[in-house]
Structure 1
Amino acid sequence: MHDSENDRTRENHGTSEHDRAGEVAQAVELVRGWAAGVPHVRAVLVVGSWAHGEPTAHSDLDVLVLSSSPGLLRDEDGWLARFGGAVIRRKTWGAVEERRLRLPNGLTLELNVADLSWARPDPPDPGTRGVVAGGVVTVHDPDGLLRTLLTALDVPAVRPPWAAGGRGRP
């Protein structure tokens, strides 16, 4: 094994892809519960390899949080304690602010925060279009913000790959 492979094995505690799917499901439910209790969080979606249906045992969980008050999440990290992990990276990607956590089970949870304008469908931002093109999994969408965006971009709803039966149309 190369050093990077050894590092990934240690980081993921030797977890198999099947075990990781269960951990991802638990993490998604934790995020869903948190989002439902935070009034300014108006949408949450999973993007990246878990949404595209192509995860490996080493894949992180990429979550995008859309907020009417993103500064409340960007300016302090106290809200991250809810997820039980250690912050291992903070980074800004244009309009998106990343908080990457290493959870106790070894799963890396990437929480990305953006303003509601990220999901504006007319015209859609090229970056937004690129993120959703491969598929997304809606976690929290009480106002239909994501539904409107995905319909405008003709992106089909998919069954979460961590759910029973795997990826596919619901």
Structure 2
Amino acid sequence: MSSIDASDNYLIKVILEQVKNWAEKRSEILALALVGSYARGEATLESDIDLMVIASDTDVFRQNYDWMHQINWESINYKIQKWNDADYGVVWSRHIYLCNSKSNSKSSSKNNLFNDLTNKLKVEISFGLPIWASIQPIDSGTFGVVSRGCKIIYDPQDILTNLVSKIDCQK
């Protein structure tokens, strides 16, 4: 099965751009990264889009659902169908299931790899406090996530930049 490179895929680029625009407007968000199979360049049509958010307050996102609708999913003709949460120790995730709001429309020619994926996408946005990205010492779970692929999207305080540099030195 062929892999999908996030940097070459129009749909993924637009999603990352919209999530970055949202993150930049939220004072609680300190950093944002693409992790998982898309960051490694190993994504398939079945892969979800995994994002890691470092926030000064993660509970504000867990207790409030409005923030999901502040991300401009409409720019890619998708809307939120449902969501659920999962806990992973010091990190929790919101799994957002998107459905195509124009399911009869054809995919863009820029988006050939997604021609078969016309109706649904899954985006997992994980939230962690700055301690998740601490480099003294680096948590084994954090090391595992970052060492298996991390593309920084938004990092004005170099929180993730410092973490990735430290992990790269330890590989």
TM-score range, shorter chain: 0.7 to 0.9
**Alignment map for 1:25-104 (pairs within 5 Å):** 25-83=13-71, 84-104=79-99
Sort the Cα spacing of 1:30 and 1:149 in 2 relative to 1 into closer, same or farther, 3 A: same
RCO comparison, higher one (Cα < 8 Å, 6+): 2
User: Which is worse superposed, 128-137 or 20-29?
Assistant: 20-29
**Take 1:154 and 1:128, find their aligned partners in 2: how far apart are those partners?**
13
Q: Which amino acid aligns with 2:83?
A: I
Unaligned runs of 5+ in 1: 1-15, 156-170
Asked if the contact 1:100/1:109 (under 8 Å) is kept, the reply is yes
Distance apart, 1:86 and its partner CA: 2.8
Q: Are residues 1:22 and 2:2 paired?
A: no
Asked if the contact 1:91/1:98 (under 8 Å) is kept, the reply is yes
Q: Are residues 1:111 and 2:125 paired?
A: yes
Taking structure 2 as the reference length, the TM-score comes to 0.76
Give structure 1 regions of 4+ aligned residues with deviation exceeding 4 angstroms.
16-20
Q: Are residues 1:141 and 2:141 paired?
A: no
Q: SS where residue 150 of structure 1 aligns?
A: helix
Q: SS where residue 51 of structure 2 aligns?
A: strand
Taking structure 1 as the reference length, the TM-score comes to 0.76
Structure having the higher strand fraction is 2
Show the counterpart of 1:160: none
Aligned residues: 140
Q: 1:121 aligns with which of 117, 130, 135?
A: 135
Distance apart, 1:154 and its partner CA: 1.3
Asked if the contact 1:63/1:110 (under 8 Å) is kept, the reply is yes
Q: SS where residue 87 of structure 1 aligns?
A: strand
> RMSD between aligned alpha carbons?
2.1
Q: Which amino acid aligns with 1:110?
A: E
Q: Which amino acid aligns with 1:136?
A: C
1:122-151 deviations in Å (ceiling 9; x for gaps)? 100000000011221101101000111111
Sort the Cα spacing of 1:17 and 1:50 in 2 relative to 1 into closer, same or farther, 3 A: closer
Show the counterpart of 2:110: none
**Take 1:17 and 1:126, find their aligned partners in 2: how far apart are those partners?**
28
Q: SS where residue 104 of structure 1 aligns?
A: strand
Show the counterpart of 2:104: none
Asked if the contact 1:89/1:101 (under 8 Å) is kept, the reply is yes
Sort the Cα spacing of 1:18 and 1:121 in 2 relative to 1 into closer, same or farther, 3 A: closer
